[in-house]
Structure 1
Amino acid sequence: MKSKVAIGVDIGGSHITSAAVDISTLEIIPETTYSVKVNNKAAKEAILLNWSEAINKTLEHVSKEADVNIGFAIPGPFHYKTGLAKFEGNDKYENLYNASIPDELTKYIDAASVNMRFINDATAFGVGVSAMGKAKSYSKTVVVTLGTGFGSAFIKDGVPLVNSEDVPEGGCLWDKPFKDGIADDYFSTRWCIKRYFEVSSKQVHGVKEIAEANDAYSKQVFTEFGSNMAEFMIPFLQKFKQEIIVLGGNVSLAHEFFLPTLKQKINEAGLLVDFEISTLMEDAAIIGSAKLFVSDFWEHVKNDLPNL
């Protein structure tokens, strides 16, 4: 594989997507994107076989004359420096617990020599959107992903900040205390479903159903969501002094219902900040993970990769 090409991989809870990225331009190479459904409760070997299926499809379209470089956007708990999976108690990929992905997955990859690097999926998304979206024009960006969990990244000049005085510990927000729990309990699909049931006695399966209901109950849920999010985030925003906030993830598709409240509360706190709803989705995570093989970027991040 030519040195200017790296494979970017986005590991989701239900599927994996792989694509080849030209790391000199940070553009996905056409006709190299492949997705494969994954049963995250399957045996270790079955999961790794699924993962390799997408990666090997991508590899069919690129030269493998030299080392194959693969960057992974992967959720935690995970040892990002070593590639050791620590999934436990999070209801997905638990059969990979204590598996070394570089050692185990390489057996299934159709290449003689493979280099693997790893980054948190929300961080990879943040790196991607700051490289290719509206945020590309800004120096300081806060990226938030809203879905099955609450992901975040603090980006300065394209580089995620993990150990910096102006960002929360670990450079992430999901585990920080809020109300009766942590942020992840409040800014996720499950909170929206739970809260909608509490106020309406109606059981739904996703945020899309709540948005489509467009009733007094859904409006109450989304207003509370936006208000809570502002209350939680404002202290961190005041410290970081970002210029733009980028929202991604499936819950962000319902932004028209909660974003006005979020914006209003942030403005009332005296913060002037732009917003972007990213449409890049997994493409951003793929580009962010492939960027691990851009030498200057790797030098910036390699010592700050968290072991979560």
Structure 2
Amino acid sequence: MNKRNVVGVDIGGSHITAGLVDLDTNVLDEASLVRREVDSSGSAVSIIGEWKKAIEAIPGYSLQHLKIGIAMPGPFDYPNGISLIEQQGKYASLYGLEVKKMLAEALGCDTESIHFENDAACFLQGEVASGAARSFDHAIGLTLGTGLGSSRYHGEFAEDAALWCSPFQGSIVEEYVSTRWFVEAYQKKTGKEIAEVRELTLEEENKAYAADIFREFGENLARFLIDFIKKESPQVIVLGGNISKAEELFLPIVEEELDRAGLATPIRITELGEQAALIGAACSWKVQKENGHSKSRIK
């Protein structure tokens, strides 16, 4: 394996994606990409086993010069590689365990060869490295899906902003800008149920309600972004996650509301998609090499 190549890994709620990233160019080798389904409700042994299989299945993988950067959802003790995830319907069996040590033992490598970072931070770092935020010195990122991921970048490496639980309209912001909100909004309007946001855009019978629902969503997102922008003063905003795929239905509303607030920060949709966090995780080794520690803490 080229010594400038690093294994980038993205841990999702039901899958793992891994591949080789060239740190000179910040580009993923598409031919090396591996994706495996993972039963996140399974035992710790089975979860680590699936991760091991995915990493070892990468074409060109070798223990020689091995470095692995992993984008991991929180809460997690990133420097020490200990999972703090509980009551989230995923990875409960890993709670309190030394995940880094377990994976290193499974792969037959040193723990120093494995580096964990927050997945929201890795998403934005990937976009800064080779995506929608490249050439910018200050950026914020949001991943919009089953939950809300938020991150900020001011040089060096992106950080998790952890704003999902920020107070918002009598609740928390995640309740207003996630898939749950769409499900509840549709149910209130129709008395019917949907499971995913894409049902609003793909099924003909739902399109009549889509415009109103997405307008309200856009207004909610803009209210949240106004405070985030004023706090961080970004040069660009990057949106990712499954909801961002319906950008044409809500982005004009967001931009309209930001303009009304006197904010002209450009909003860009992810260029790297699901590969952003993987690339960002691999790029974390640049910071690790310089500083000797994880940028992410316990979050």
TM (norm. structure 1) is 0.90
Aligned: 1:281 with 2:273: yes
Identity score, percent: 35
Alignment of 1:26-65 (within 5 A): 26-58=26-58, 60-65=59-64
Alignment partner of 1:76 out of 56, 74, 77: 74
Distance 2:110 2:80 in 1: 17
Give distance in 2, aligned partners of 1:283 and 1:89: 27
Tell me how far apart the structure 1 counterparts of residues 156 and 105 of structure 2 sit (CA, whole Å). Answer: 33
> Displacement, 1:65?
2.6
Distance 1:21 1:118, change over 3 A: same
Task: Identify if the C-alpha distance between structure 1 residues 285 and 301 changes in structure 2 by more than 3 Å, giving closer, same or farther.
Answer: farther
Q: CA deviation at 1:304?
A: 4.2
Partner residue in 2 for 1:164: none
Q: Partner of 1:197 in structure 2?
A: 187
Aligned twin of 1:6: 6
Q: How far apart in 2 are the matches of 1:22 and 1:252?
A: 27
In structure 2, what is the Cα distance between the partners aligned to 1:299 and 1:269?
A: 40
Aligned residue for 1:71, secondary structure, equals strand
Q: Deviation digits for residues 38-69 of structure 1, max 9, x if unmatched?
A: 111111111111111111111x5134333x21
Counterpart selection for 2:259 from 260, 263, 267: 267
Shift of 1:194: 1.4
The residue type paired with residue 302 of structure 1 is H
Alpha carbons 2:20, 2:29 under 8 Å: kept: yes
- Indicate if the aligned counterparts of 2:127 and 2:271 stay in contact, CA closer than 8 A: no
**Contact preservation (8 Å) 2:117, 2:295:** no
Q: Give TM-score scaled by structure 2 length.
A: 0.93
What's the CA shift for 1:135?
1.4
Deviations 1:202-247 (A, max 9, x none): 2111000012245342222111111011112202212222121111
Q: For residues 63 and 40 of structure 2, what CA distance do their matches in structure 1 show? A: 29
Which residue in the other structure is 2:197 paired with? 207
The whole-number CA distance in structure 1 between the counterparts of 2:288 and 2:249 is 37
SS at 2:298 equivalent: coil
Per the TM alignment, residue 282 of structure 1 is displaced from its structure 2 partner at its CA by 2.1
Q: Spell out, residue by residue over 1:19-53, the C-alpha distance to the aligned partner (whole angstroms, 9 max, x if none).
A: 01111221112421100001111111111111111
Deviation at 1:180, TM superposition (A): 2.5
Answer whether contact 2:132 2:269 (CA < 8 A) is retained: no
Match of 1:167 in 2: none
User: Equivalents in 2 of 1:112, 1:221: separation in Å?
Assistant: 50
Corresponding pairs, count: 296
**Please, which of 246, 249, 257 is the counterpart of residue 241 of structure 2?**
249
CA distance, structure 2, for counterparts of residue 297 and residue 192 of structure 1: 39
How many Å separate the matches in 1 of 2:185 and 2:27? 40
Provide Cα deviations, 1:64-113, integer angstroms capped at 9, x if missing partner: 333x211110111111111101111111111111111111112322x444
Alignment of 1:115-194 (within 5 A): 115-157=113-155, 159-161=157-159, 171-194=161-184
Separation in 2 of the partners of 1:120 and 1:187?
20
After the TM superposition, which residues 218-237 of structure 1 pair with which residues of structure 2 at under 5 Å, given as runs? 218-237=210-229
Per-residue Cα deviation, 1:176-200 (whole angstroms, up to 9, x for no partner): 1111321222211111111111112
The amino acid of 1:89's aligned partner reads: Q
- Alpha-carbon distance in 2 for matches of 1:52, 1:29: 19
The 3 A distance-change label for structure 1 pair 297 and 43 is closer
Secondary structure in 2 matching 1:98:
coil
Matched, 1:240 2:232: yes
Distance in 1, matches of 2:134 and 2:156, equals: 8
| Distance in structure 1 (CA, Å) of the matches to 2:289 and 2:296 | 10
